[in-house]
Amino acid sequence: MSKLASADSGVPTLAVSTVIFTLRPNQAGAMQLAIALVRRIKKPYLGLWALPGGPLSMNEDLATAASRNLLETTGLHPRYLEQLYAFGNLDRSPNDLAEDRVVSIVYWALVGSEEAAEAVEGENVQWFWADQLDPLAFDHSLIVEYALWRLRNKLEYSRLAHGFLGERFTLAQLREVYEAVLGRALDPGNFRRMVQGNGAVVATSERLEGTRHRPPKLYRYDSSIDLTDQGPLNTGERK
Amino acid sequence: MSKLASADSGVPTLAVSTVIFTLRPNQAGAMQLAIALVRRIKKPYLGLWALPGGPLSMNEDLATAASRNLLETTGLHPRYLEQLYAFGNLDRSPNDLAEDRVVSIVYWALVGSEEAAEAVEGENVQWFWADQLDPLAFDHSLIVEYALWRLRNKLEYSRLAHGFLGERFTLAQLREVYEAVLGRALDPGNFRRMVQGNGAVVATSERLEGTRHRPPKLYRYDSSIDLTDQGPLNTGERK
């Protein structure tokens, strides 16, 4: 199996990184999709922003390492966590010294908006709007682009929006999540019919507390439906 | 980032493995989904069957390593190759010595039926029916189960069946691929309407050569439709 190996005796380093999504209010008060990034404090790409991550340690599961990235970066726990992809192209680092090769197994995570408001921020850890990113270190721009694509695709056929919301929500709040993730306005009437038609969201007997004359009804996700379907891995990974 | 690291100085080994699918005729002459496996010739799991794979070498891309697995195991090149998942649970090997931990980045591949008939076979490399496997080494039974799930899901919304067929095929041949992968008979009339309705398959002016009075029409896939969509990775991975 090793006949293609080069003369050097090195092996690729294995790292785990995490794309952390949340919704945060923008200056106009509308929810907008944001990503947590860390600033590089060493070469290569010194000073650029990058996905949080680090080497996989010997006694950690992959998902545990991804959760730890999230906790160490933001002080938060994920509402949803899924493996995205393993990135291992030879040219993903500008430094072509063979001993620097890193293969990154990347996860993506959703953090609730309320928790995200409490998140750690600092000079070297910040939230950025997902659709307004400058070029990131390494191949991280491509990784974020792929994570966004996966998030937008999954939103349409799963109850993934739950990862940003509380247990109870109005249809307007749910629509706001869809609008923030998809990056476009949705017609309220069409959205209501879509949601009520697919059956994943059920009305509760409660209404939003407030001062309005006719407060909107609160909904919840049908818990008998999986947050998102990974088939055999749904049980296999939790053994 | 290393505060959870154990006292030992080891790092997990990175391996690449490949689930190789093809269609082969069974004793009744019908096409059936098969997987190429290799026999373990060392411990652990000595004598059991496993997915082909090996350590990632320093100068190989992940997909290149997966193709090499396929070539070394069967002598064949893939018609289709896609990353499946990275498996890295701490308990995936029975040997709980920390220095034996392996993280496997797994690909799945489709090999054309005609090529598969020429494939290398031997005492330690054989094709098995995908739905009649005995327990495999390590967590490879779970990996195969997940690969089957992915294949069956993707078949329904992509032109993946192409990976088993030639450039031109009859609707009966296409239906045979679907039946083999899904493991159940399909109504010919409904299948024809489904295929003609989704627009991915277009009729050619040719007909199957043979002795029949009215030979069936040959179809081809519309090449403007991606074999299967991975969004930004479609270009990103080929850079």
Residues of chain A with C-beta less than 8 angstroms from the C-beta of B5: 57-59
- Residue (of B140, B156, B182) closest to B20 by Cα position: B140
| pLDDT tens digits for range A115-130 | 888 887 888 999 999 9
**Residues in B 63-82 with any Cβ partner in A closer than 8 A:** 68, 72
Q: Where are the beta strands (DSSP E) in A26-120?
A: 31-39, 49-50, 53-55, 80-87, 102-110
User: pLDDT (tens digit, 9 = 90+) per residue, B2-35?
Assistant: 444 444 557 889 999 999 999 999 999 889 999 9
ipTM of the complex: 0.85
For chain B, say whether A96 makes contact (Cβ under 8 Å): no
Give the residue, A118 or A48, on which the prediction is more confident: A48
For chain A, say whether B88 makes contact (Cβ under 8 Å). yes
Residue of A nearest to B149 (CA): A231
Cβ atoms of residues B173 and B165 within 8 Å: yes
Residues of A whose CB is below 8 A from B156 = none
- Contact between chains at A14 and B10 (C-beta distance less than 8 A): no
Min Cα distance A208 → chain B (Å) is: 39
3-state secondary structure of A87: strand
Question: How close B228 comes to chain A (CA, Å)?
Answer: 14
In a mutagenesis test of the A interface, which of B82, B89, B148 is the best target, namely the one with the most A β-carbons within 10 Å?
B89
Look at the pTM and tell me if it is higher than 0.90: no
pLDDT digit string, tens, across residues B86-145? 999 988 877 655 567 899 999 999 998 888 888 878 889 999 999 999 999 999 999 999
pLDDT at residue B237 in the model: 37
Domain map of chain B by residue range?
A: 10-156, 167-232
Q: Which of helix, strand or coil describes residue A141?
A: helix
The distance in angstroms from the start CA to the end CA of chain B is: 31
How would residue B226 be classed by pLDDT, with cut points 50, 70 and 90? low
CATH number of A10-156: 3.90.79.10
Contact assignment for B61 to A142 by CB distance below 8 Å:
no
Phi, psi of A53 (to 5 degrees): 175, 180
Q: Contacts for B214-222 with beta carbons within 8 Å, 24 or more apart?
A: B216/B170, B216/B171, B216/B172, B217/B170, B217/B171, B218/B168, B218/B169, B218/B170, B219/B168, B219/B169, B219/B170, B219/B171, B219/B174, B219/B195, B220/B167, B220/B168, B220/B169, B221/B159, B221/B162, B222/B159
Instruction: List the beta bridge partners of residue B55.
Output: B15
**Residue A60 to residue B89, Cβ atoms within 8 A:** no
Give which of A128, A130, A167, A135 is closest to A152, Cα–Cα.
Answer: A130
Please name the residues in contact with A155: beta carbons below 8 A apart, sequence gap of 6 or more: A161, A178, A181, A182
- Answer whether A145 touches B (CB < 8 Å): yes
Chain A, nearest residue to B99 by Cα: A58
What is the pLDDT of chain A when averaged over all its residues?
85
Q: Give the pLDDT of residue A149.
A: 92
pLDDT higher than 70, residue B44: yes
CA distances from A67 to A197, A198, B1, B71, B238 (A): 35, 31, 12, 37, 30
Chain A contact present for B224, CB below 8 A: no
Report, in angstroms and rounded to the nearest whole number, the Rg of chain B calculated over CA atoms. Answer: 20
- B167-232: CATH number: 1.10.10.10
Q: Which amino acid is at A4?
A: L
By Cβ distance, the residue of B5, B55, B146 closest to A233 is: B146
- B92 has a chain A CB within 8 A of its CB: no
The C-alpha of A185 sits at a distance from chain B's nearest C-alpha, in angstroms, of 22
Q: Measured between alpha carbons, how far is B224 from B237 in angstroms, rounded to an integer?
A: 19
Please state which of the ranges A4-8, A16-20, A212-216, B216-220 shows the lowest mean pLDDT. A4-8
Question: Which has the higher per-residue pLDDT, A154 or A235?
Answer: A154
Cβ-based contacts of A13 with chain B (< 8 Å): 11
